[in-house]
Amino acid sequence: MDTIRFSPELLRAERAANPEFTRPRQPGPSTRSVHGGRRPNPYNAVADPIVQTATYTFKDTADLRDFMEARMWGGGQGRTEYGRYGNPTVAAVEARLAALEGAGDAIAFASGMAAITTVLLAMLSSGSHLVITDDCYRRTRQFCQTFLKRLGIGCTVVPMGDYPALEAAIRPETRLIVSESPTNPYLRVLDLERLVEIARRHRIKTLVDATFATPLNQRPLEWGVDLVVHSATKYLAGHNDLLAGVLAGEAGLMASFRDALGVMGSVIDPHNAALLLRGLKTLGLRVDRQNQSAQAAAEFLASHPVVEQVWYPGLPDHPDHAVAVRQMNGFGGVVSFTVRGDLQSTARFVDALQIPQLATSLGGTESLVSQPALMSHYDLGPAEREALGVRDNLVRLALGIEDIEDLIADLEQALTFV
């Protein structure tokens, strides 16, 4: 057998003869999850090292002065003097997250709520106004309607999917539109194109919480959204073992939020940043599995006689199915549904499940189940829950990476207890 040898000359000839061969290939989402934003480290380590330090030294006064002068003029980004302003491990995960979102920059926070509250406080001042859709995360709405009100910042809540109402809520002092896609718990999908058209016509910035979608299923920045936020605790980290948040957007816009983080101090710990980096490497595998499992679970539940209604964007009867098909690559790993029964019979179903664990959160390797009326909205009375659309017989199922055949069999046996 003839020996095959690599020939640089032959490779160059093939490239010259085939223009498609020379076109650089854009890496796919899983490749970006593993390698996006990769930067060299002094140890030649495959995994980004954990740099555990609170402060940084300078060689001498001249070195310090050079750094301070560079920072005054917008430079000096390669290093810092104190842990609240930067960390190499944190910088590594921020570069990876920016690559995943296709953003100019990304900032990691101690939690998803820290990311949201920081950007709102940095963007809005007394006398200004924002519009938020009603199916957003409850704590986000609470912050906008309660805490921002104390600062003299107005907030109008509009129904999710009602774009005429959204535009009608805009005032001369409106600075920001906040929404979520898909939403919690009914998985409503925001028409990003329509949102951006309204916002740009009124010269207003947009912020979308895309936690449920992940950058693999939906990339709001590519549709013209200004800022995207994630609770990285969920899918991005993927193992239910850390708290983190991320904000991503155009580099020039992000600079003010990085300054605000230095003032407010909700920085992520380097250990959590390293865990987040590790989790991101399997993001593509996990999300693909969760997309498939959730679709199968939703179809099973929709066909079951004890189930009243199923909310999942991958089902044709979901109110935003057409929008989801147009702008999403996958429909996510969460399925919400109501069973034929009351608060107690629904609780019996939840307790009968053997694989999903009764817990809040989502996006991890373990399947989790919750009954919102007895968990996230337990502090509200029945009338208040009903006003928010949280029914006593509502269940939210967050699929993990277990075998879907086992999960469906478990759902089937538990539904006999309703």
- Once rounded to an integer, what is the mean pLDDT over residues 361-375? 93
Q: How many angstroms from the chain centroid is the CA of residue 240?
A: 15
pLDDT at position 4 over 50: no
- Once rounded to an integer, what is the mean pLDDT over residues 299-312? 98
pLDDT at position 373 over 90: no
Residue 110 pLDDT: 98
Residue 30 pLDDT: 84
pLDDT at position 398 over 70: yes
Residue 377 pLDDT: 63
Residue 172 pLDDT: 98
- Once rounded to an integer, what is the mean pLDDT over residues 152-176? 97
Residue 13 pLDDT: 67
CB atoms within 10 A of CB 303: 9
Q: Work out the angle between the directed axes of helices 88-101 and 270-280 (0-180°, nearest 10).
A: 30
pLDDT exceeding 70 applies to what percent of the chain? 91
For the chain, give the mean pLDDT: 92
CB atoms within 10 A of CB 159: 12
How does residue 7 score in pLDDT terms, banded at 50, 70 and 90? low
| Two tokens, residue 304 | 């079951």
Residue 174 pLDDT: 98
Residue 107 pLDDT: 98
Residue 230 pLDDT: 98
- Once rounded to an integer, what is the mean pLDDT over residues 172-197? 97
Rounded CA-CA distance 191/187 in Å is 13
Nearest to 216 by CA among 283, 276, 277, 279: 283
pLDDT at position 2 over 70: no
CATH number corresponding to 284-417: 3.90.1150.10
- Once rounded to an integer, what is the mean pLDDT over residues 164-175? 98
Rounded CA-CA distance 43/274 in Å is 16
Rounded CA-CA distance 153/143 in Å is 11
Residue 26 pLDDT: 82
- Catalytic amino acids? 84, 137, 209, 234
Nearest to 369 by CA among 391, 385, 354: 354
Residue 106 pLDDT: 98
Residue 275 pLDDT: 98
**C-beta of residue 314 within 8 angstroms of C-beta of residue 351:** no
- Once rounded to an integer, what is the mean pLDDT over residues 258-269? 95
Higher pLDDT, 343 or 199: 199
Region of 76 on the Ramachandran plot (φ > 0 left; ψ -120 to 50 alpha; else beta) = left
**In the chain, where the domains are located:** 32-51+87-280, 284-417
Rounded CA-CA distance 97/277 in Å is 9
Residue 144 pLDDT: 97
pLDDT one-digit tens code per residue, 208-254? 999 999 999 999 999 999 999 999 999 999 999 999 999 999 999 99
Residue 393 pLDDT: 92
pLDDT one-digit tens code per residue, 190-208? 999 999 999 999 999 999 9
Q: Which residues pair with 177 in a beta bridge?
A: 131, 206
Residue 24 pLDDT: 66
**C-beta of residue 286 within 8 angstroms of C-beta of residue 238:** yes
In 316-358, alpha helices (H): 321-327, 343-352
Residue 23 pLDDT: 61
**C-beta of residue 267 within 8 angstroms of C-beta of residue 83:** yes
pLDDT one-digit tens code per residue, 32-66? 888 888 888 888 888 889 999 999 999 999 999 99
Q: Which helix (H) or strand (E) holds 222?
A: none
- Once rounded to an integer, what is the mean pLDDT over residues 13-30? 70
First-to-final CA distance of the chain: 69
- Once rounded to an integer, what is the mean pLDDT over residues 410-417? 98
State in words which class domain 32-51+87-280 has.
Answer: alpha beta
Rounded CA-CA distance 364/355 in Å is 14
CB atoms within 10 A of CB 403: 11
pLDDT one-digit tens code per residue, 87-125? 999 999 999 999 999 999 999 999 999 999 999 999 999
Residue 390 pLDDT: 77
